[in-house]
Amino acid sequence: MNSDELMSVAQSIVAADKGVLAADESGPTIKKRFDAVGVESTEENRRRYRELLFTTEGIESAIGGVILYDETLRQAGADGTPFATLLAGRGISPGIKVDQGAKALALYPGDKVTAGLDGLRERLAEYKQLGAQFAKWRAVIDIDERDIPSRYAVQANAHALARYAALCQEAGLVPIVEPEVLMDGAHDIERCEAVTSQVLQAVFAELDAHRVLLEGMLLKPNMVIAGMKCARQADARQVAEATLRCLRRHVPAAVPGIVFLSGGQSAEEATANLNEMNKMGPHPWQVSFSYGRALQAPVLAAWKGQESNAPAAQAALAKRCRLNRLARTGDYAPDLEALD
């Protein structure tokens, strides 16, 4: 393991007010996104769409890393340049999703654990060869009224995340450690804070036990936010306060960056919440983004698979990049949405 290289890649992804574009939708997930805008999910349409994202002018000033899916890491632009080479040439680190999805946790109805540790060492070696500089593994923690998540599900997911992170560092890849507490339920923001605290406490205990170099990783958590079906929704200030309180209690200052997932928030909400947190800075870590839907939803809506819509789709991505970059320094304001 080359600690200097790991630290330098981790820092560069979140340097200069940058963040991450999560473009690592698995086959079924990208199909869902394409279905919503009437695009058939063929390999060529997926390639065309990802090329549109990666060739958008100017994104490198806001994007330090892009997370790819296995198929995408093996694909190339129309001129034959592999996507990993294209991105690296623009100063953007290519990354790879390496987990194999959340599966039912045996004997714990309703809980999930993420699969993908078997054969991971060999897959990481290949991904490194293909040009990946970092990796991502997502643990999924659901919340219900009472028993979900169980203590054991939190523990099992934390353990898997740490096993993955250690294997990544052994292979010379920066691990993005993603424990996602879902915002799907009817729970209030207090419950989300309690569960997120429990999850982060378990994750950092396991990372420590597995000897993971904190300076050579990034954390990708959920924001502390009320469930989508909760009648009492918190405003950006409440979300920022609860999220920062929770992170300060559990995330060591040695971690170079926190890159939030958007998790079902609208593009505008995700930007506003990030902005609010950075207004409350400085923080011990870079407070940044690794958005999938919050960067791509407006792009897909503009594109709809039509070549003639490509300029509008790229403009939509460029706009979200610009606004999230402003949110990295607390300089975003909702009225910029209309001006841009």
Residues with catalytic annotation? 178, 220
Tokens found for residue 337: 């949405």
CB of 293 to ligand 13P, least distance (A): 3
d(CA 314, CA 299) in angstroms, rounded, equals 7
The only residue of 204, 291, 303, 332 in contact with ligand 13P, by rule CB under 6 A? 291
d(CA 56, CA 69) in angstroms, rounded, equals 19
Per the CB < 8 A criterion, the answer to whether 113 and 159 are in contact is no
Which range binds ligand 13P by CB under 6 A, 11-19, 121-129, 162-170, 288-296? 288-296
Please tell me whether residue 251 binds ligand 13P under the rule CB under 6 A: no
Q: Which helix (H) or strand (E) holds 129?
A: helix 120-129
**172 to 191: interface string for ligand 13P, x by CB under 6 A:** ------x-------------
- Contacts for 109 with CB less than 8 Å, ≥ 6 apart: none
**Main-chain phi, psi angles of 171, to 5 degrees:** -85, 0
- Tell how strand 112-114 and strand 218-219 pair up: unpaired
Please tell me whether residue 263 binds ligand 13P under the rule CB under 6 A: yes
* Polymer length in residues for the chain: 340
Closer to ligand 13P by CB, 26 or 81: give it.
26
CB of 140 to ligand 13P, least distance (A): 9
Please tell me whether residue 112 binds ligand 13P under the rule CB under 6 A: no
Which range binds ligand 13P by CB under 6 A, 32-40, 103-111, 287-295, 322-330? 287-295
The only residue of 59, 202, 261, 277 in contact with ligand 13P, by rule CB under 6 A? 261
Residue linked to tokens 């607390």: 330
**17 to 36: interface string for ligand 13P, x by CB under 6 A:** -----x--------------
Measured between alpha carbons, how far is residue 35 from residues 245, 304, 312, 313 in Å? Answer: 39, 10, 20, 17
Q: Cβ of 147: how many Cβ atoms within 10 Å? A: 10
d(CA 50, CA 324) in angstroms, rounded, equals 20
* Cα 28 to the center of its chain, rounded Å: 18
d(CA 89, CA 255) in angstroms, rounded, equals 27
Which range binds ligand 13P by CB under 6 A, 35-43, 104-112, 156-164, 257-265? 257-265
The only residue of 64, 94, 131, 292 in contact with ligand 13P, by rule CB under 6 A? 292
CB of 263 to ligand 13P, least distance (A): 4
Closer to ligand 13P by CB, 39 or 181: give it.
181
Tokens found for residue 48: 């065309």
CB of 30 to ligand 13P, least distance (A): 12
Please tell me whether residue 13 binds ligand 13P under the rule CB under 6 A: no
Please tell me whether residue 294 binds ligand 13P under the rule CB under 6 A: yes
What residues make contact with ligand 13P under the rule CB under 6 A?
A: 22, 138, 178, 261-263, 291-294
